[in-house]
Structure 1
């Protein structure tokens, strides 16, 4: 591949948490032009030197124009919560197929398309730590949509004799839980710790989880997209090792210079809380981050993964320790009045 200074990237989901950090990583490496799909509000991209592309993944002609002359595509856009299977399918499967169809039309000779999936696609797993070889048995609507998306990459569309995996230089990455500045999903956990309560499903050491800082994830995504040997491969991009929730609690209390009491949350109780939160969401016109679908994932899906394959293939090496990453995140929350 040529140097970054001579290249153009197209990013979907760049206005979001992970996507905005990915855009910053591309600019940091000297990417000549970064085009970002923007619906209305550029959000975290406002002060960055990017080329906004106004539209969404249903606007095929917009995608054709945006992809003209592009060298690399980073598909980060997707929905992490939605009220129905159809809504997840439209946002996470059909939108991906729309993008890949546009790539075939407008940039068939590009170097790489990096597609973002999730550890949630794995679901139930007999192993404590998932590898890329385990079968996909998702338990949530979100996880099923990501598994369906991965499967759709290997299926032959009605209009072509070959699958996208056969005709395009695809790489799939599956992040586990991601944290860092701009993330709202784990913010409530840190708010609870600041109030001296640490809610943990099953207790502090019952299960481990892979928790990757968003900067490490962004670095790994670009490295995967740039490595010739990653063509056609799927990778977990997680932490150096899984962590117990007690470790996360200790990192948070140390960074906040406070104390917190662990509050074990039984699985059935978590499910009830998710149902009540979802009911309140229906009443207020919002879909809360903790809902029945999410509680099924928390209770039954695999939460830890191995990044050994990525380390072996392109030297993936997450460099931000948990204590440091949590401290940086909490400092950002406090600076921006979120905590």
Structure 2
């Protein structure tokens, strides 16, 4: 591949679903070097031309080396499921502060640091579609950890400046993300494939961003002067509902599916049952009481107008095309 620029990036969470799409996008845009923090296995990075940095976000010396000399840092690493508040805070709050501390120490002149938060940090919202002016009122432990992270990087604590003041940071808040390699939405498509699709009754609008569109948006945010010190939602071109997603899936699968309305109270009951099963088996199922609370009470749609205005964010993938490509990938890899 012929390089088109000499930029160097460091990515945390690159072995995961969103991070691997970002790494591919950086390489496709001709970044000279992409460094990735890898704890054990490369997973989705296998075969890509990256510089592997062995270690994790609790090791300052590893982070000093990783961020030294880079132009851009993309922090995606984190957890969406954990056993308790302390585990969420270690992964989503403390790890972020460790990374920013390392950048401040080893590369304070970095061009930009993109920190990934979530729509879940907003939680309850008076508007059906949230924008960046909405206060942070998260309803889940995951959302609370992301809100706590945003507040922590804006708080100077015992330092003269907060990290937001000391470093050129941009915070991005994706809504639900889907695409090849994603396991969270897989269960929905499996239901559609079985021709019976439960859909929560009375649900609000839904933002659902394709992973490749999110990755391109994060790069645009990093390279935009306007985005320094700002927070952005990076969502879909419009709000959907789950019937839209079902219809796109049935088109891709080539057969219909019966939509079965699910009363919201049953979502809570299913979340409690799933969590109890997880406690017995030592697993963290995607649906639990926290996720059920988000489904019932938190904002699920966001406006990307600010990102569109400031740096030309524009999702390129229609829901129909994104769902079709995701299902094609699931089938190719035996997931569906």
How far has the Cα of 1:104 moved from its partner? 0.3
Task: Provide, for residues 269-298 of structure 1, a one-character-per-residue CA deviation record: whole Å limited to 9, x for no partner.
Answer: 111111111111111111111111111111
CA RMSD of aligned residues (A): 1.0
* SS in structure 2 of the partner of residue 243 of structure 1: coil
C-alpha distance in structure 1 between counterparts of 2:4 and 2:139, whole Å: 40
Aligned twin of 2:280: 283
1:319 aligns with 2:316: yes
Q: Which residue of 2 aligns with 1:201?
A: 200
Cα deviation, residue 328, structure 1 = 0.5
Cα separation, 2, equivalents of 1:4 and 1:286: 44
Provide the residue aligned with 1:37 in structure 2. 37
Distance 1:77 1:35 in 2: 14
The number of equivalent residue pairs is 334
1:71-120 Cα shifts (integer Å, max 9, x gaps): 10000000001121111111000000000000001110010000000000
Tell me by how many angstroms 1:4 deviates: 5.9
The corresponding residue for 2:166 is: 167
Residue ranges of structure 2 left out of the alignment (5+ in a row): none
Q: SS in structure 2 opposite 1:305?
A: coil
Equivalent residues in 2 for 1:65-80, closer than 5 Å: 65-80=65-80
> 1:141 maps to what in 2?
141
Taking the aligned partners of 1:149 and 1:306, their CA distance within structure 2 comes to 22
Q: Which residue, out of 321, 325, 328, partners 1:331?
A: 328
CA distance in 2, matches of 1:207, 1:157: 38
- Secondary structure at 1:277's aligned position in 2? helix
Name the CA shift for 1:133/1:4 in 2 (closer, same or farther; >3 Å): farther
String of CA shifts for 1:44-70, please: whole Å, max 9, x gaps: 001100011111100111001111111
**Superposition deviation, residue 321 in structure 1:** 0.5
- Deviation track 1:11-67 (CA, whole Å, cap 9, x = no partner) reads 000000000000000000010110000000110001100011111100111001111
State the distance in 2 between where 1:91 and 1:163 align: 20
Name the CA distance, whole Å, in 2 between partners of 1:8 and 1:215.
20
CA contact (8 A) 1:14 1:36 kept: yes
8 Å Cα contact 1:202-1:267 kept in structure 2? yes
Offset of residue 245 of structure 1: 1.2
Query: 1:198 deviation in Å?
Result: 1.1
Offset of residue 172 of structure 1: 0.4
| Equivalent residue in structure 1 for 2:257, among 252, 260, 270 | 260
Partner Cα separation in structure 2 for residue 330 and residue 46 of structure 1: 22
* CA distance, structure 1, for counterparts of residue 53 and residue 269 of structure 2: 42
TM-score by length of 2: 0.98
Partner of 1:13: 13
CA distance in 2, matches of 1:101, 1:4: 31
Task: Work out which of the residue numbers 248, 251, 255 in structure 1 matches 2:248.
Answer: 251
Q: Which residue of 2 aligns with 1:154?
A: 154
Q: Distance in 2 between matches of 1:334 and 1:214?
A: 18
Report the Cα offset of residue 302 of structure 1: 0.2
CA offset digits 1:116-162 (Å, max 9, x no partner) = 0000001000100000011110000000000011111110132x211
Q: Secondary structure at the match of 2:259?
A: strand
Task: Give the equivalent residue in structure 2 for 1:101.
Answer: 101
The TM-score, its normalising length taken from structure 1, stands at 0.97
In structure 1, what is the Cα distance between the partners aligned to 2:146 and 2:29? 29
